[in-house]
Amino acid sequence: MTAASSSLPHSAQTGPHEQLAALIARRAGNPFRKPVAPFSLEAFARFTTICDPARPLIVDSCCGIGESTLNLAERFADHFVLGVDQSSDRLSRAPALPSNALLLRADMADIWCLLRQHAWRPARQYLLYPNPWPKIGQLARRWPAHPVFPVVLALGGVIECRSNWRIYVEEFALAAQLIAGIDAPVDTFVPGEPMTPFERKYLASGHPLFRCVLPLAGRT
Ligand SMILES: C[S@@+](CC[C@H](N)C(=O)[O-])C[C@H]1O[C@@H](n2cnc3c(N)ncnc32)[C@H](O)[C@@H]1O
C-alpha cells in the first residue's frame, strides 16, 4: 500500500457503539486496577528522574515514532513533553528530540495509572490517531471504552483526540460526557502541517479528519 492509498476504517457501526453507555455505567465506581508491567514501571522511573515537575507536562499518548512529541516540544518550549508508545520498532525511528521531551516504551494504560498515582497533572494530553479497532466486537479495545479511560479524564488538562474515523472521536466525546460530564463537539478539520505520520498518510489519501478537544478535564 502506498502512502497515498490508505483505506478508511471499515465498520458495521453507523454511530457510537450501542453498548458503550451500558459498559461505562457497569464500571462506574469500580476503579481500574491492573498490575503495572515491570517495563512500564522502569520507563516511568526514567521519566520521574528526567522531568522537572515545575514545568507543565504534555502527554503524547501512543505517539508512534514521536514526530508529534517533537512538534509539541518545539511549540510548547516551556513545557515538558512525554511521548509514550509500546512499539520499540516505531520508537527506534524517532527523530532527535530537544531536552524538554522524552520518549518511553511502555504500556499507555500503565503510564496513565502511574501518572495519576503520583499526582501528575498534565496541562495537555494528546491521543492522535489511536488504532481504531473498528469492528463491532472490538469496542473494548478502543481507549474511550477501556476501563482506564476514567483515569485519563481524571488526569485532566486539555485533552485532544484525532482520528480519520469519525465514530472513534464521537465515542471519545460520548465517554467524556458520560464519565466526567464534559461536553465537547466533534469537528472536521484540516491541519496546516501534519502533526504525525498517520495524519500525513490520511491527508495524502484524501481522508476527512475529525477531532474533539476536551476543554479542561479532570482536576478531581
Ligand atoms: C495508528 S498508530 C498512531 C501513531 C501516532 N500517534 C501517529 O499518529 O502517527 C497507533 C499507535 O498506538 C500504539 N499503541 C497501541 N496500543 C498501545 C498501548 N497499549 N500502549 C502504548 N502504545 C500503544 C501503537 O504502537 C502505535 O504506534
Q: Under DSSP, is residue 162 helix (H, G, I), strand (E, B) or coil?
A: strand
Residue of 34, 62, 90 to test ligand 1 pocket, by largest number of atoms within 8 Å of CB:
62
Nearest-CA residue for atom 14 of ligand 1: 62
CA angle, 77 then 111 then 100, to 5°? 15
Which is the closest atom of ligand 1 to the Cα of 128? Answer: 6
Nearest to 32 by CA among 149, 147, 169, 193: 147
Domain boundary assignment for the chain: 56-217
pLDDT of residue 216: 79
What DSSP assignment string belongs to 18-32?
A: TTHHHHHHHHTT---
Burial pattern 127-150, b for ≥16 Cβ within 10 A else e, equals bbbbebbbeeeebeebbbbbbbbb
In one-letter notation, the amino acid at residue 135 is K
Residues 108-150 have pLDDT tens digits of: 999 999 999 999 999 999 999 999 999 999 999 999 999 999 9
Q: Which residues line ligand 1 (CB under 6 A)?
A: 62-64, 84-87, 90, 107-109, 128-131, 196-199
For the chain, the C-alpha Rg in angstroms (whole number) is 17
As averages over each run of 10 residues, the pLDDT of the chain (220 residues) reads 73 96 95 95 98 96 98 98 98 97 98 97 98 97 98 97 98 97 97 96 96 80
Residue nearest to atom 15 of ligand 1 (CA): 62
| CATH number among 3.40.605.10, 3.40.50.2300, 3.40.630.30, 3.40.50.150, domain 56-217 | 3.40.50.150
